[in-house]
Amino acid sequence: MATGKPHLSVPRILQMNLGFLGLQFSFGLQQANPIFAYLGADEKDFPWLGIAGPLTGLIVQPLIGVMSDRTLSPLGRRTPYFLIGALMCSAGLFLMPFSQSLLMAFSILFLLDVGNNITMEPYRAYVNDRLREEQRGFGFLSQSGFTGLAQCLAYASPFLLVSLLGVSKVAEPGVIPDYTRFAFHIGAVLSLTTILWSIWRVPELPLTELERKRIAALPRGFASTFTEIFAAMREMPQAMRTMAWMSLFQWYAMCCYWAYRVPSISMALFGTSDGSTAQFREADLLSGPMGAFYNAIAFVAAFSMAPLARRFGAVRLHAICLVFTGFAMIAMPMMNSEPPMWILMGIMGLGWGSIMGNPYIILANAIPAERTGVYMGIFNMMICAPMLVFAGTMTFIYEPVLGGDPRNALAFGGVLMLCAAVAVLRIKGGGEPAPRTLAVA
């Protein structure tokens, strides 16, 4: 990769990561809108119906990581994947609300999540490519900040469409509401336009002649791609190996939150989690502003954490955030009125802001620059694998172990989040405080 990376100003770092706004708006829409519930799915089936994201991430991101490390094109190494993924994501978002059945929604979700994952993996590597070491922390935490902002808007969009624009909140059983359809179409536009803005305003750095020769000499083909993935796994830095336990616990916990947030709120406040009832739709519309608030806190917290991570280290900072998040998830199902839930949602936002930023600071400090893409892809496998474990286990433990109550699933996730806090403290060799200057151009 090119040497002598220029210092970037804060506005330019924000512009290079603006694509995360559209990318994460897409993920936020999937979390905020219980489409499978609207189409009549049973609660116990929610985990496996959402398997598209982790399954495609597990397969797609490592492959794209290796391919983008080895791509030589007029557009750069990462940019072709940004464009392909953004187009696929926009198509999936446009088509999803027209789903007439669970099978149709399940199939479109695969298209949507393949596109998301094709874009996301090189986007993480792009930060490492483009920024000097002392600016990487702000780069990754700005991605976390845009994640919070995007998901804030995604969670709030149904509520805003209903309350401000008068979109009907009434829907026939088995039909996706109009406010969900309009929100997905807004997401389709954002997904493409924000990616285009990022790559136009802050293009990739040109490779040196030495780097181009090194990449050109690498073997081609799928066989060599898989060989590189397995070789990178064997040679994985110890700090990254230790992060696997942290990822297992924290992402299983977040899956509990995403799958059972709306049913849990509905049970706590209205005594039902039946997706066909008016009470469930009320809980869904209420959870929208709550989710927006939690993501707004994540947006603010992510940028606030940048100087803290430089001073105290990303490892300790992340552990503290996970402790607060775990206790919030345990307490939330016990609430039977709105005000305490808002406070706990704010604490959840603190943890979410950390989850989407601090682990990548730890990782970037532990991996070799020439393998940034493949290691970012492998790290995503550590995110997707817990999601697949969740999909494969929650269906079977939901009723016999958790009593068929979504509130118990949420509390169980809180316990796992505390386990993640313990695991992160075992990480050595990553996330140490970096130089404290954030240079501006």
3-state secondary structure 83-135: HHHHHHHHHHHHHHHHCCCHHHHHHHHHHHHHHHHHHHHHHHHHHHHHCCHHH
Q: Which long-range contacts (CB under 8 A, 24 or more apart) does 406-409 make?
A: 406/43, 406/260, 406/263, 406/264, 406/266, 406/267, 406/273, 406/333, 407/260, 407/264, 407/267, 407/268, 407/333, 407/334, 408/333, 409/256, 409/259, 409/260, 409/264
* 41 vs 90: which has the higher pLDDT: 90
> pLDDT per residue over 327-372, tens digit each?
999 998 888 888 888 999 999 999 988 998 888 888 877 887 777 7
pLDDT of residue 43: 67
> pLDDT per residue over 183-192, tens digit each?
899 999 998 9
Q: What is the spatial distance between Cα 329 and Cα 240, in angstroms, rounded to a whole number?
A: 27
What token pair was written down for 285? 């519309």
Band of the pLDDT at 171, cuts 50, 70, 90?
A: low
> pLDDT per residue over 76-116, tens digit each?
888 999 899 999 999 999 998 888 888 888 888 888 888 88
For residue 439, pLDDT over 50 is answered with no
For residue 174, pLDDT over 90 is answered with no
For residue 71, pLDDT over 90 is answered with no
Q: Torsions phi, psi of 189, nearest 5?
A: -70, -45
State the chain's maximal CA–CA distance in angstroms.
65
> pLDDT per residue over 155-169, tens digit each?
788 778 888 888 777
Stretch 312-317: mean pLDDT: 87
Q: What is the spatial distance between Cα 158 and Cα 395, in angstroms, rounded to a whole number?
A: 28
Single-letter amino acid, residue 430: G
For residue 278, pLDDT over 80 is answered with no
278-312 vs 133-163: helix axis angle to the nearest 10? Answer: 160
Nearest to 402 by CA among 388, 416, 418: 416
Band of the pLDDT at 440, cuts 50, 70, 90?
A: very low
Stretch 264-274: mean pLDDT: 79
Q: Can you say how many angstroms the Cα of residue 32 is from the centroid of all Cα atoms in its chain?
A: 13
Q: What is the spatial distance between Cα 105 and Cα 98, in angstroms, rounded to a whole number?
A: 8
Nearest to 34 by CA among 260, 246, 292, 187: 260
- Helix (H/G/I), strand (E/B), else coil: 357: coil
Nearest to 141 by CA among 354, 357, 312, 359: 357
pTM for the model: 0.71
pLDDT of residue 327: 95
Of 183-187, 196-200, 284-288, 291-295, the range with the lowest mean pLDDT is 284-288
Band of the pLDDT at 23, cuts 50, 70, 90?
A: confident
What token pair was written down for 217? 């000499």
pLDDT of residue 173: 67
Helices (H), 235-331: 238-270, 278-312, 314-331
Stretch 303-317: mean pLDDT: 84
Q: What is the spatial distance between Cα 254 and Cα 71, in angstroms, rounded to a whole number?
A: 34
Stretch 289-316: mean pLDDT: 83
pLDDT of residue 347: 93
Single-letter amino acid, residue 118: I
Q: What is the spatial distance between Cα 110 and Cα 309, in angstroms, rounded to a whole number?
A: 35
The share of the chain scoring above pLDDT 70, in percent, equals: 93
What token pair was written down for 409? 């699933």
Stretch 14-36: mean pLDDT: 83
> pLDDT per residue over 417-438, tens digit each?
999 999 999 887 554 544 433 3
Q: Can you say how many angstroms the Cα of residue 359 is from the centroid of all Cα atoms in its chain?
A: 12
Nearest to 287 by CA among 316, 258, 250: 258
pLDDT of residue 87: 93
> Please, what is the average pLDDT of the chain?
83
